[in-house]
Amino acid sequence: MPDFTSSFINNEPGSEKELENSINAIKVFGEAGITLVRQRFEGDTFPHLTTKYRSIQRGGMIARGESLGFTKETFPHPSVEEHEALWQRFCDA
């Protein structure tokens, strides 16, 4: 799926083209028999806030781990208002 950029999230002029591109992509996926897609929005995940590590599971299986507690650096977090604005644009889409 094509990502929605900050232009769409901020409702900038011309950004409605991103919505058209997403709609067209969903149509193509549907025609191809793909029943599940994920629409990405710039800023909808916060991978820089976690520290990745190898998580050793029961029986020795190794899995991917992510921890907020292991992260010692401080990074800016979105405000409640910024999060709500992103969610509103998500709902608009």
Tell the residue number behind the tokens 């969610």, with chain if given.
Answer: 87
Is the same domain home to 73 and 84?
Answer: no
Closest CA to 38 of 83, 88, 4: 4
Q: The whole model's pTM is what? A: 0.66
Q: Torsions phi, psi of 44, nearest 5?
A: -85, -10
Range of the domain at 13: 1-43+78-93
DSSP string, 1-50: -PPB-HHHHTT-TTTHHHHHHHHHHHHHHHHTT-------BTTS--GGGS
pLDDT of residue 61: 95
How many domains does the structure of the chain reveal? Answer: 2
Closest CA to 9 of 37, 48, 39: 39
- Which of residues 48 and 56 earns the better pLDDT score? 56
pLDDT of residue 47: 78
Amino acid at 38: R
Is the same domain home to 54 and 18?
Answer: no
Q: Average pLDDT over the chain, rounded to whole?
A: 90
pLDDT of residue 64: 93
Is the same domain home to 30 and 17?
Answer: yes
Is the same domain home to 23 and 58?
Answer: no
